[in-house]
């Protein structure tokens, strides 16, 4: 019976300490940034909650701080700022979820900072997550250094209004042909230029990858030649 | 003539050789061993071999060895560091704005902070330029004209809404 007050006291102190740590380590600078800009109330709470969600998952909050600085720099109102921060936080968490759930992405599922950030940006731009879930499902096909370029190319194509299904096909072709980073990016740029000239997706696909019925090796050769001619 | 092998020689008539030998053996005189030992010159005691040297004589060679090891580690480590350093790509940003006083570039590579990269210019044709060396990757950026107007890079193919009512340019290196 005598131990109960000590246990209660111990529990109280532990909870207080654990609750205090993130506030001091991660959110204090954010509190400071928000109070300097006189952002209070509901929008401030949304922003702080987003930081807490990201830090709570063990993720680096720097992308959120960058977004905050960008918003401050552009004199964004508090509502737009909160929405932007929430969106970035959500994309960071979604990216972590994709990387964590797919054995084929990253190095054995480990968190690769650059890859995580790139994937988060792509998701933030509006790319459907299923593109990546499908693409990185097979660990045998994926090489870690190539993933980041594939994600960047996918985002590039998406922002250029290429259909998500065509993006998916593009990524599979690039993966099958074992293209290197610069080849992947150049292929995406080639697609965007061709699209701007009014060429259909099927036409670009054919020009870029050659015979759609070719084996990956034969097709890869054609794709490479096409890129080398640029 | 018959050759006789000494081993095969027949000594049976002379009795057991071991017994004969034990009979002719004479005991040493009393005190013989002690006298021999007393005449032997005294040898210095051999120190026990230990793994740690005594005194400070070992310090200089040990320090030299340590320095050599550090040098070796540094020499072996230096190329590895160069190999892991991501390749940097030189990229030139350019804006044609003949009638402005200042052009700045702000983006991922400045941590979205102003005052870090101001473009040089304008040249006689009204162009502002800056050259940056960046690691391969994706970068989002925008120009800031005269410290108040945001403008995406007209040369960049990819643009993205920034969520704050403006457009950012995106470049992949």
Question: What is the pLDDT at residue A147?
Answer: 82
- Is the whole-model pTM more than 0.90? no
What's the rounded mean pLDDT across residues A33-53? 91
Q: d(Cα A148, Cα A19) in Å, to the nearest integer?
A: 36
**Residue A142 in tokens:** 């994926």
Q: How far, rounded to the nearest angstrom, does the alpha carbon of residue B136 sit from its chain's CA centroid?
A: 26
A55 in Cβ contact with B97 (< 8 Å): no
pLDDT over threshold 50, residue A24: no
Please choose, from the candidates B115, B99, B93, B163, the residue with its C-alpha nearest in 3D space to the C-alpha of residue A74. B163
Residue B24 confidence (pLDDT): 66
Q: Over range B35-49, report the average pLDDT.
A: 71
Secondary-structure breakdown of chain A: helix, strand, coil percentages, each rounded to the nearest 5: 75, 0, 25
Task: Say what the ipTM of the complex is.
Answer: 0.75
Question: Which of B151, B149, B158 has the alpha carbon at shortest distance from B94?
Answer: B151
Contacts of A115 (CB under 8 A, 6+ apart): A99, A105, A106, A144, A147, A148, A151
Residues 147-206 of A with CB under 8 A from B: 148, 152-153, 155-156, 159-160, 181, 185, 189, 192
Tokens of B105: 């570039």
Whole-angstrom Cα distance, residue A87 to residue A92? 9
- Tally DSSP H helices, then E strands, for chain B: 3, 7
Q: Is B5 on the interface with A (CB under 8 A)?
A: no
Nearest partner of A185 among A153, A162, A213, A161, judged by Cα: A153
Tell whether the torsion through CA atoms of A66, A71, A72 and A74 is positive or negative: positive
Q: How many CB pairs under 8 A join A and B?
A: 59
Only one residue has tokens 């992947």, namely A184
- pLDDT at residue number B56: 67
* Contact check, Cβ <8 Å, B157/A114: no
A73 to chain B, any CB pair closer than 8 A? The answer is yes
Which of A64, A70, A118, A121 is best to mutate for the B interface (most B CBs within 10 A)? A70
The neighbour count for residue A199, using CB atoms within 10 Å, is 15
Neighboring chain B residues of A47 at a CB cutoff of 8 Å: none
| Tens digits of residue pLDDT in B139-169 | 999 999 999 999 999 999 899 999 999 999 9
Q: What is the pLDDT of residues B62-102, one digit of tens each?
A: 788 778 877 775 655 443 333 334 578 999 999 999 999 99
Check: CB of residue B100 under 8 Å from CB of residue A114: no
């Amino acid at each position: 019976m005598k131990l109960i007050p000590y246990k209660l006291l111990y529990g109280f102190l532990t909870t207080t300490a654990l609750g205090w740590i993130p506030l001091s380590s991660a959110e204090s600078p954010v509190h400071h940034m928000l109070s300097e800009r006189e952002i209070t109330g509901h929008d401030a709470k949304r922003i702080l909650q987003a930081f807490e969600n990201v830090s709570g998952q063990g993720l680096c909050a720097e992308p959120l701080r960058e977004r905050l600085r960008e918003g401050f720099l552009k004199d964004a109102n508090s509502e737009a700022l909160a929405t932007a921060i929430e969106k970035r936080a959500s994309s960071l968490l979604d990216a972590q979820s994709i990387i964590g759930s797919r054995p084929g992405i990253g190095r054995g599922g480990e968190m690769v900072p650059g890859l995580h950030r790139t994937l988060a940006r792509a998701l933030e731009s509006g790319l459907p997550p299923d593109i990546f879930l499908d693409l990185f499902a097979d660990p045998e096909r994926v090489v870690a250094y190539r993933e980041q370029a594939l994600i960047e190319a996918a985002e590039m194509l998406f922002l250029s209004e290429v259909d998500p299904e065509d993006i998916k096909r593009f990524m599979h072709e690039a993966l099958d042909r074992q293209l290197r980073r610069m080849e992947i990016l150049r292929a995406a740029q080639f697609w965007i230029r061709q699209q701007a000239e009014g060429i259909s997706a099927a036409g670009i696909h054919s020009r870029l990858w050659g015979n759609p019925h070719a084996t990956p090796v034969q097709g890869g050769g054609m794709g490479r030649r096409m890129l080398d001619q640029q | 003539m018959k050759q006789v092998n000494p081993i095969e020689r027949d000594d049976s008539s002379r009795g057991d050789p071991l017994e004969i030998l034990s009979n002719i053996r004479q005991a040493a005189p009393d005190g013989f061993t002690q006298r021999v030992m007393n005449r032997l010159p005294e040898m210095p005691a051999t120190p026990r071999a230990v793994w740690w040297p005594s005194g400070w004589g070992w310090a200089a060679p040990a320090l030299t060895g340590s320095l050599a090891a550090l040098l070796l580690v540094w020499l072996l480590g230096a190329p590895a560091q160069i190999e892991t350093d991501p390749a940097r790509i030189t990229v030139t940003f350019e804006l044609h704005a003949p009638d402005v006083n200042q052009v700045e570039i702000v983006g991922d590579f400045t941590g979205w902070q102003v005052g870090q990269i101001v473009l040089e210019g304008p040249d006689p044709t009204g162009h502002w330029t800056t050259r940056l060396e960046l690691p391969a990757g994706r970068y989002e950026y925008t120009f800031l004209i005269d410290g108040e107007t945001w403008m995406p890079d007209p040369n960049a193919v990819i643009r993205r809404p920034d969520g704050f009512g403006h457009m950012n340019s995106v470049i992949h290196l």
